[in-house]
Structure 1
Amino acid sequence: MQPTFVVLTDLSRSAEAALTYTTRLAQRLDGRLVLLHVFLDPVLEPEISMVAAPILVASREEIITSMVQQASTLPVPADTEVVVDVLSSALANVVQQHHPLLLALGREEPDNLLDRLVGNRALPILQDTRHPLLLVPEGWQDTELPQRLVVAIDAHPFWLSAPSLALDELFDALQPTTTVVHVIPGQGPSQTKVELASVQRTGLFGKLTSASLYEVWKEAPAAGILHAAAELKAQLIVMLARPHTFLGGLFHRSITAQILRRSPIPVLVLPTTK
């Protein structure tokens, strides 16, 4: 089956950034794209009325025309889907139909819109599909596929979901240099063996040794992860989303949500089963 990448688009600059990035990934795997736009009904999903979305004032016909034109210019096969539905149903349908490797979303700027973005789009994607989510900042302009990535973990073991493990084909193609980052806010002991073992068990990131571990001491977790990513000149941050982080407001306070809001580089979120 040809690898498929779904890009959620509202034809904004942030959506364009996600499309450009995801197109390069699809090219590497000789894959295909699905450009998905969901007309979100403010009556059914009132939160969307808080988001600055130019899509709401455009007609459905204009959107279809623009998306078909955009898809025709891409260097990989691309289909377009424009649906009127609530987001959860639209996502469930596209996952069931296309079985994508991941779903991609652009992160809008300026900063005062980001909390709304995470609450209205990133959380439903993760919660409803349990599929990997790629979030690309609007200002990201690096044309190189990610060769240096950091995997941010805590001291607790984890097991990735089946859709997350299905990314092995993509990571095999990228062959990135991976550093495992663990932030230790206080004076507690390092859990090096636990940290490395969980990441090694996934089989996604190649051969990892004790030299692959990067520990940050006495920083808040989100700040420490971003600090490490900057020092390592990482081009992608990989975060884990455990099932308990999907419980509404808990997600908004999670380290994953903070990274999604603040990271200057793309973030790949991998749902876990534990």
Structure 2
Amino acid sequence: MKPAVVVLTDLSAASGNAQAYAARLVARLHGRLVLLHVYQSLDPLRAPEELVLTAAAELAGRQKVQADLQQQVRQLPVPTEAELSFDPLATAVANAVRRHHPLLLAMGRAVHSTPLERLLPHEVEPILRAAHYPLLLVPESWAEPELPQRVLVAADGRAFTLPAPTLALRELLLALQPTTAVGHVAHETHGPSHGDVALKSVQSTQLFGHLTNNSLYEVREETPADGILHAAAELKSQLIVMLARPHTFFGGVFHRSVTAQVLHRSPVPVLVLPTVA
């Protein structure tokens, strides 16, 4: 089976941007896309005299969404299929993961928060945490047409272990052949920074090609999120890779962690890789 990327789409401009980005990624592996749209039904708690109108509007809404999805399928340059689900979001995502075993899940990050973004940490968190699936967020404003050639991997200097779905990204990451830097934000202004530990931890994954001591980029006297974004800007990184530990993935990712801050503020796409330790 061709490698797949599942894109969670709400048919917004941000989702369209994520689809285009994911299409460029899977094209490198001669893979395929799956567009997953979870239909939000109309409120059923209506007056009896509105039931007929509601049913007609519901049918028309479903038909329009299906037509819009098929139009997007035809416009994408890689093999693509669309799935329209009427299940709860968590169930729809779990079913898609089980059917397609994707390399990763992708979605757009809108300038203003969308209903899909608000639902993700609450409804899908248990599924993603259990499956340990990587998630790619693409800002709506990201317009570069090229695949990422400069990647920043943010590491905190503590050892970690990667689950099988994350390790499965090795083929894709190596196919990109990017210049990779390991970003480490030191907690102390002076003294040892433990950046060497961060570098060795990332090297041990063998996900990012050959890394040397020159691959380490250290930042001091900044908060972790500020330091990561500062490093990405200095290096002109086109992709930030965040390693999310079990206690932050995914609820903390979207609410209170360093990863959350980077996700909400980064002007470039962010790939979140879950760890199991």
> What is the CA-CA distance between 1:40 and the residue it aligns to?
4.2
- Report the Cα distance in structure 1 between the residues aligned to 2:68 and 2:250, rounded to whole angstroms: 36
- The letter of the residue matching 2:76 is L
> What is the CA-CA distance between 1:117 and the residue it aligns to?
6.2
- Are 1:16 and 2:16 counterparts? yes
- The letter of the residue matching 2:5 is F
Q: Which residue of 2 aligns with 1:271?
A: 274
1:62-92 per-residue CA deviation (whole Å, 9 max, x = no partner) reads 1111101210122111110000111211111
1:211-248 per-residue CA deviation (whole Å, 9 max, x = no partner) reads 10000001011011001000000000000111111374
Match of 1:155 among 148, 154, 157: 157
Q: Which residue of 2 aligns with 1:205?
A: 208
| Long gaps (5+) in structure 2 | 44-57
C-alpha change, 1:60 and 1:70, in structure 2 (3 Å) is: same
Q: Which residue of 1 aligns with 2:180?
A: 178
Q: Which residue of 2 aligns with 1:25?
A: 25
Equivalenced residue count is 259
- Report the Cα distance in structure 1 between the residues aligned to 2:121 and 2:110, rounded to whole angstroms: 12
C-alpha change, 1:232 and 1:57, in structure 2 (3 Å) is: farther
The question of whether the paired residues in 2 share the 8 Å contact of 1:155 and 1:191 is answered with yes
- Report the Cα distance in structure 1 between the residues aligned to 2:147 and 2:93, rounded to whole angstroms: 26
Q: Which residue of 1 aligns with 2:34?
A: 34
Which secondary structure does the structure 2 equivalent of 1:208 belong to?
coil
What RMSD in Å do the two structures reach over aligned CA positions? 2.2
Query: What TM-score, normalized to structure 1?
Result: 0.88
% identical equivalent positions: 57
Point out the structure with max Rg over C-alpha.
2
C-alpha change, 1:138 and 1:172, in structure 2 (3 Å) is: same
C-alpha change, 1:58 and 1:238, in structure 2 (3 Å) is: farther
The question of whether the paired residues in 2 share the 8 Å contact of 1:5 and 1:33 is answered with yes
- The letter of the residue matching 1:60 is R
Match of 2:78 among 76, 79, 101: 76
C-alpha change, 1:61 and 1:118, in structure 2 (3 Å) is: closer
C-alpha change, 1:21 and 1:248, in structure 2 (3 Å) is: closer
- Report the Cα distance in structure 1 between the residues aligned to 2:98 and 2:181, rounded to whole angstroms: 33
> What is the CA-CA distance between 1:250 and the residue it aligns to?
7.5
Q: Which residue of 2 aligns with 1:7?
A: 7
Query: What TM-score, normalized to structure 2?
Result: 0.87
